[in-house]
Chain A
Amino acid sequence: MLRPREIWDRLGPAPASSEPERENLTWLRRLVLVHVAARTFLTMPTDFDGSVASLLRAATIAVALAGLAGPAALVATRVLCGLLVVEIATTLPFTANHVFLEFLCVGILALLNERDAGEGALSVRALRWIVAVFFLTTGLQKVLYGFWFRGEFLAYFAATEDRFGAFFGPLIPDAELARLRSYNGPPLEPGRYRTGLGAGPYRVDAPLFVLVSNLTWICEIVGGLLLFHPRTRAVAAWGCIGFVVLIELAARELTFGVLISALFLLFVPGRPLRRFFPFAAAFYAYLVLHRLGFVPFFDYSPA
C-alpha cells in the first residue's frame, strides 16, 4: 500500500524532465481562459443592465480573452482568479459545482507559473490530484447516498427529465417507463417535471438498466483510482474521457464536458492539449454563435 507521499511523488514528473507536461499546462491555461469566457457568456442573462453582476461578467469575459495574448496569460489568470472569488462569493450557496472546479484550476494556474520547472511540476501534480479526487469522489458519493444500486436515481431522472429519458428510456421497458412518467406532475420548465408526495416507487425491473446504473459509480471509482498510478493513468484518462462523453450524451453539460476532458488529457503523455485546444476553442465559438442566434444547435445545459 503506497503512502500518500509516494502517491504524490508518482503523480507527476520531476522538474528537470517536466517540459512536455509544462507545455501542456500552457495550452490548458489558454483553454481554461476560453472556457471561463465562454461559460460566463453562455450563462449570462440576455439583457446587459449595468448592474454590478453584469459588469462583473463583462470583466470576466474581457480578462479571460485578454489572457490569450501570450505575455498577458499569467496576469490575466491572476485577475480572473480574483473575479471568480467574487463570483463565487456573490452566488453562494447557489454556485454550480462546475464553477468551483474552474476556480480550482484557475487558482492553481494563477499561483504557479509553468515556465518555472519547479512550479510547473507542482502544478501538474496539483491539477492531476484535483481531477482524480473529483472523479473518485463523485463515485464514492453515489455509494454513500445509495440511489444507484437499484437504479433509483436514474429511474427518477429518466421519468422527470426528458434529456435523460431520451438516453436511458430505451433501457427501460415501455410499461415501466410509462408507470414512472405517470407520477409526474406539472412541468417546472420545458422537459422537466415536478413530482408530488408519495410518487414512486422509482425502481424498475430492467437488469440492463440496473447494471448501467451500477457501472456508473464503479467506473468513477475505478477510473479515479487508476489515474493515480503511473502505469495505468494514460489508459484511465482515455477511459474517463469516453465515460464523460457518454454521460454528456444524457446530461448535455457540454462546457463542463470539454473542461473535464481537457483536465483528463493532463494524464496523457506527450502534448495532447496542444492538439485538443483548437477543437475546444472552435466548439466554444460555435456555442457562442448559437447563443447569438446565428447557428442551430440542440438544447443543452450551458453551465
Chain B
Amino acid sequence: MSLAKKTRLVGWLLAAITLWPLVHFGLARTVGISPWKLFGWAMYTTPRPRVLAYVLEGGTERQLPFDTLSPARQRELLAAYDAFSKLRIELGSWVEPDEFGQLALRAYPNVASIDIAVERWVLGRTSARIEKAGPRALYRYSR
C-alpha cells in the first residue's frame, strides 16, 4: 500500500474516532447505552447504571412469585436475568428480554401471558439521587 493510501486510511480512521464520542453521547441519551463502554471515552462521567427486570402477570401489576419455583427453574431464570441485565446495561433498549421472557412464560404455566417490566436506575442530574431513568419498558410474551 502506498504512503498516500495509508495517509487517507489513517485520515478516515482518525476522523471516525474523533466524531464517534459525540455519536456515543447521543446513543447514551436516547438508547441508553452505557457511557463506560463502546469506546466513547465517557468512563468516569456517571455511575454505572443498573438494570432491573420484573416478571408480571400479563396486563396486570401482579409480580409472579419466584420462591414457588423449583430450584432448577430458579437457577435457569436467574441466569437468563443476569445475562439480559448485563447486556441491557451496555446496549440499552437495543436489547430485549426475549430469552428471559420465554423462560419465564414456561416457568409459569398457569398464566396466559407475562410482562417483563424493565427499569434502569441512574444518578439523577437534578436530584443527585439514584432514580429511575424514565418509565418502565414493558415486553409481553404470550402463548
Contacts and interface: CB of A to CB of B under 8 A. Distances in A.
A145 B42 contact: yes
A97 B43 contact: yes
Contacts of B130: 195-200
Interface string B30-68: 000111111111111111000000000000000000000
Interface residues of A, number: 48
A118 B7 CA distance: 10
B123 interface: yes
B17 A200 contact: no
Contact residues of A: prevailing secondary structure: helix
Contacts of A122: 3, 6-7, 10
Contacts of B46: 145, 147, 153
B95 to A, nearest CB: 9
B71 to A, nearest CB: 22
Interface stretch (A47-55, A70-78, A125-133): A125-133
Nearest to A139: B41
Contacts of B127: 200-201
B41 A202 contact: no
A202 B45 contact: no
B128 A201 contact: yes
B37 A130 contact: no
A133 B41 CA distance: 10
Given A122-B3, A147-B45, A197 B128 contact: no
B90 interface: yes
A108 interface: yes
Interface in A134-174: 134, 137-138, 140-142, 144-148, 150, 152-153, 155-157, 160
Contacts of A126: 10, 13-14
Contacts of B86: 94
B87 interface: yes
B47 A153 contact: yes
B54 to A, nearest CB: 13
A274 interface: no
A93 to B, nearest CB: 4
A104 B13 CA distance: 9
B143 interface: no
Interface in B79-124: 86-87, 90-91, 121, 123-124
Nearest to A117: B3
A112 interface: yes
B73 to A, nearest CB: 25
A107 B36 CA distance: 22
Given A111-B6, A156-B123, A202-B123, A141 B45 contact: yes
Contacts of B33: 93
A100 B13 CA distance: 13
Interface in A182-209: 195-203
A141 B41 contact: yes
B131 A197 contact: yes
Given A137-B41, A141-B21, A201-B129, 16 more contacts: A93-B33, A100-B39, A108-B10, A111-B9, A122-B3, A122-B6, A122-B7, A126-B14, A134-B41, A142-B44, A147-B123, A148-B45, A152-B123, A152-B128, A198-B131, A199-B130
Interface of B: 3, 6-7, 9-10, 13-14, 17-18, 21, 25, 33-47, 86-87, 90-91, 121, 123-125, 127-132
The 9 closest A-B pairs by CB, nearest first: A200-B129, A145-B45, A141-B42, A201-B128, A93-B90, A137-B41, A199-B130, A100-B39, A118-B3
